[in-house]
């Protein structure tokens, strides 16, 4: 498409600092251009989409996708559409998670949640639109052979669907106030949070033309950081403040959610998270790829404040 480069081509930069913040900026800029390109939708929907996707954050999942492509010696610009699609999926999930019928949150990343600004009806429809547009973005803008596009769509569809993110969220909602086993807790976290993080890395590996061996190792790496991410999220709900986290903290305990701290205790949960992060870094360090960005992104999990 003629307008493809205008939306999804950003000047290549070098990383400075521990977490590659500039990759987050690339995603921010690309998403802003994408929303601006929509010319045939209700204005209220465009405003709700823009409000929701410009809600800041580290863009952890799309950054992982870009960094994975780079680690394989490829140009991360080539994966921007897929990385943006992953962020659209993530944003849709946050909008729906925040609804009164699920987590009933008023704030997300320091701003009022979508339903508090636009109403529950528009928030639901905004989430629906973002979910659908994620697949459209890959189909329309991702430069890849048809079989590669199919693999990317399959990865994201599986990660976000009935055996992935939605499955984990259902377990979370259905078993709130009820005790679950450690095995079910682990499975819930891997699906609710881990699957999309794993898909982010796997999509980057697919675009980066990774061998089956490299893809397998990157998947193992991503599985570890996916679980670590959710455990640190559980810990932050206890130790962080609403001002720092940008969302209401302490709700897991109030709502009697099943979390790692509620089942393992806070100290043991921190140890498990550190172990998973250590395992992930060890996998990357033993691989013959560009390591810096992926290692720094992983270490960031131990320093998260939100």
Looking at the chain, the whole-number percentage of residues with pLDDT higher than 70 is 90
- pLDDT tens string 153-164: 999 999 999 999
Q: Is it the case that residue 189 has pLDDT exceeding 50?
A: yes
DSSP 247: S
- pLDDT confidence of residue 48: 97
Q: Tokens representing 144? A: 């890849």
- pLDDT confidence of residue 217: 98
> CB count, 10 Å around CB of 38?
13
- pLDDT tens string 7-66: 665 444 444 448 999 999 999 999 999 999 999 999 999 999 999 998 667 899 999 999
- 240 versus 217: which is more confidently predicted? 217
DSSP 250: S
Q: Return the closest-CA partner of residue 120 out of 139, 132, 105, 140.
A: 105
18-303 folds as: Farnesyl Diphosphate Synthase (1.10.600)
> With bands split at pLDDT 50, 70 and 90, how would you rate the model's confidence at 239?
confident
In sequence order, the 6+-apart residues with CB closer than 8 A to the CB of 106 are: 112, 113, 116, 248
Residues 173 and 128: beta-carbon distance below 8 Å:
no
Q: Tokens representing 261? A: 């701290």
Average pLDDT, stretch 144-150? 96
Instruction: State residue 8 phi and psi, 5-degree precision.
Output: -120, 40
Average pLDDT, stretch 285-296? 96
Q: Return the closest-CA partner of residue 252 out of 227, 226, 228, 231.
A: 231
- pLDDT confidence of residue 303: 80
Half-sphere exposure of 189 (CA within 13 A, CB side): 24
- pLDDT confidence of residue 251: 76
Distance CA 280, CA 248 (A): 29
Residues 276 and 224: beta-carbon distance below 8 Å:
yes
- pLDDT confidence of residue 14: 45
Distance CA 114, CA 262 (A): 29
Distance CA 144, CA 111 (A): 36
- pTM of the predicted structure, to 2 decimals: 0.91
> CB count, 10 Å around CB of 146?
7
């Amino acid at each position: 498409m003629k307008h493809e480069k205008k939306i999804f081509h950003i000047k290549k930069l070098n990383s400075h600092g521990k977490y590659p913040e500039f990759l987050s900026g690339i995603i921010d800029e690309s998403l802003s251009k994408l929303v601006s390109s929509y010319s045939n939708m209700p204005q209220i929907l465009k405003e709700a989409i823009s409000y929701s996707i410009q809600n800041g954050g580290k863009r952890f999942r799309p950054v992982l996708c870009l960094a994975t492509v780079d680690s394989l010696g490829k140009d991360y610009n080539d994966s921007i559409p897929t990385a943006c699609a992953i962020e659209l999926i993530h944003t849709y999930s946050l909008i729906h998670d925040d609804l009164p019928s699920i987590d009933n949150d008023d704030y997300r990343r320091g701003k009022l949640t979508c339903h508090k600004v636009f109403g529950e009806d528009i928030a639901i429809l905004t989430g629906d639109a973002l979910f659908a547009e994620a697949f459209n973005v890959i189909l329309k803008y991702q430069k890849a052979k048809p079989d590669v596009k199919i693999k990317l769509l399959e990865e994201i569809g599986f990660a976000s669907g009935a055996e992935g993110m939605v499955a984990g969220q259902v377990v979370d909602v259905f078993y709130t106030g009820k005790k679950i086993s450690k095995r079910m807790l682990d499975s819930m976290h891997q699906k609710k949070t881990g699957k999309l993080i794993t898909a982010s890395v796997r999509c980057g590996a697919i675009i980066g033309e990774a061998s089956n061996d490299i893809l397998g190792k990157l998947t193992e790496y991503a599985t570890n950081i996916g679980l670590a991410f959710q455990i640190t999220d559980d810990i932050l709900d206890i130790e962080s403040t609403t001002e720092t986290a940008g969302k209401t903290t302490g709700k897991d305990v109030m709502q009697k959610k099943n979390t790692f701290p509620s089942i393992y205790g806070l100290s043991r949960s921190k140890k498990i998270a550190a172990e998973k992060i250590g395992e992930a870094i060890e996998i990357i360090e033993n691989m013959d790829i560009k390591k810096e960005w992926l290692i720094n992104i992983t270490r960031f999990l131990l320093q998260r404040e939100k």
